[in-house]
Structure 1
């Protein structure tokens, strides 16, 4: 075997003297290179194994404001537990910008309000029901459902004028013949929770904000959620680049996010079906 290798290389690896083999400098160099190559192969095998078990890699997530404060960070922390080799990039942007970031493959996963479909983005849509947020001590908190008639002329907090939930909410009041009193206009629903807690207004809120800050019990302001009728829809989507292959890590988190959204819908629906329960403590207990 040594002679064959020397013939292929074109030079001697050993000096043969008195029945002994003495390695040449070239042989020592070849040994070092071979050991380095074998070490790199072993490291590559270990890296591929970690990739296969989702323990290493990079995840780039762009998230819209409603989910960026609590829902998405909490979810990512759970998903990345025990994955010390995974690097994360998480940014908050408006939904239209997130769509462009995903389409241009700058981010692996986007979580945003549902955009118009386009060829460069794969999306999975979720139709979420908005809920009415109000203080637990408010008499309306004893109702199973809140309607425009219940809020006739009462001060309301809504998102900016051209947002779909704002237009749907105002249209519901008009259709019911109730007076829509827009007292507070917001870019996101989260600040509105403080105003509702202080009795400044009522709010028809997206499910993610309500679930994160009221239903999960992180909110200590004594707020409750009730079903609002007619139904106000807020559709959100998981977005992924259409023209790029997805790594196993991205696929796994997309599935994890899907499960979390469906769990949120199920828990919120179960809570709304139970009817009036006063106080944040009861709300927290339902979430456990």
Structure 2
């Protein structure tokens, strides 16, 4: 059968109004056009929907049965139209987001809260995993978008990389807090909280201390930098940590209490990336979140720049290596 939604909707209006002329006014078509549409529908169905006697239109028993089906079809169509409108307005659907530990406690939840504030129909699945696990989740298309430490490039993942500098966090009453930029010479032999041995930032930290001929005193070894801030606040050690962890401390309004953030040179990098599946088409909502996250990263860099300053001449900050 070749039946259109317009025919079904017109038939429903005829049944509701009991009149071809009234139905024509409702659907904003001429009476002959509505009559022709009903006749064509009857021909497609192979049975009569109305009995026409003495100028009166009476539905057949078959018309009442067919009306039930039409109501179901049109209700489903109306739901579909609402869903499409929500998707178009980025208010519907579901987002599956994975995030590495450094950004999962504050940075990403804060960003997602902002993004979803005007999207009540949008569902969210949010998990924290290590960057290595996240890489496989994105490559296998189990998640729509992820924020993690930069992986090696592979065809199954599209990525936008950001090269962020690490910063030094220390007690505000420490004599070193009077300096704008700290160096291995300043931290020579002083207790530090560092990440596990083979992490990229731990390797870089060890390298810059060795190159400067300074002793790296690893007092605390961590899986993530966030707990290190508590050790610093307690006066146990210093920490040279990723920018995202330090930024979380700032936006909580705690950086003015007992810790300060200073630039560290030589520069230690912490590269992070926005990851999406390489072989999948991104939804409109995923694209919008991608742009929102990209903007938030740049906002963070500007905020940190204002917090730690430009440093002395000859020590410029690096630009993002964005791909």
TM-score, normalised to structure 1, is: 0.91
- Structure number with the higher strand fraction is 1
Deviation at 1:8, TM superposition (A): 2.8
Deviation at 1:221, TM superposition (A): 5.2
How many aligned residue pairs are there? Answer: 275
Name the residue aligned to 2:233: 197
Structure 1's unaligned 5+ residue stretches are 276-288
Q: What are the residue-to-residue correspondences of 1:37-116 with 2, within 5 Å? A: 37-116=73-152
Residue 155 of structure 2, aligned match among 99, 119, 129: 119
Name the residue aligned to 1:138: 174
Name the residue aligned to 2:309: 273
Q: Which moved more, 1:37-46 or 1:120-129?
A: 37-46
Quickly say closer, same or farther: Cα 1:67–1:4, change in 2 above 3 A: closer
- How large is the RMSD of aligned CA atoms in angstroms? 1.6
Structure 1 runs of 4+ off > 6 angstroms? none
Deviation at 1:20, TM superposition (A): 3.3
**SS of structure 2 residue aligned to 1:74:** helix
Per-residue Cα deviation, 1:162-202 (whole angstroms, up to 9, x for no partner): 01111111111111111111111110001110111111111
Quickly say closer, same or farther: Cα 1:69–1:3, change in 2 above 3 A: closer
Name the residue aligned to 1:257: 293
Q: Which moved more, 1:83-92 or 1:208-217?
A: 208-217
Is the CA contact 1:130–1:232 (under 8 Å) kept in the aligned structure 2? yes
Is the CA contact 1:210–1:225 (under 8 Å) kept in the aligned structure 2? yes
Quickly say closer, same or farther: Cα 1:236–1:274, change in 2 above 3 A: closer
Q: What are the residue-to-residue correspondences of 1:89-238 with 2, within 5 Å? A: 89-214=125-250, 216-218=252-254, 222-238=258-274
Deviation at 1:47, TM superposition (A): 1.3
Deviation at 1:129, TM superposition (A): 0.4
Per-residue Cα deviation, 1:45-98 (whole angstroms, up to 9, x for no partner): 221111111111101110000001111111111111021101111100000000
In our comparison, the structure showing a higher alpha carbon Rg is: 2
Structure 2's unaligned 5+ residue stretches are 1-35, 312-323
Instruction: Determine which structure has greater relative contact order: mean sequence separation of CA pairs < 8 Å that are 6+ residues apart, divided by chain length.
Output: 1
Deviation at 1:29, TM superposition (A): 2.2
**SS of structure 2 residue aligned to 1:85:** coil
TM-score, normalised to structure 2, is: 0.81
Q: Which moved more, 1:92-101 or 1:172-181?
A: 172-181
Deviation at 1:11, TM superposition (A): 1.5
Deviation at 1:220, TM superposition (A): 7.2
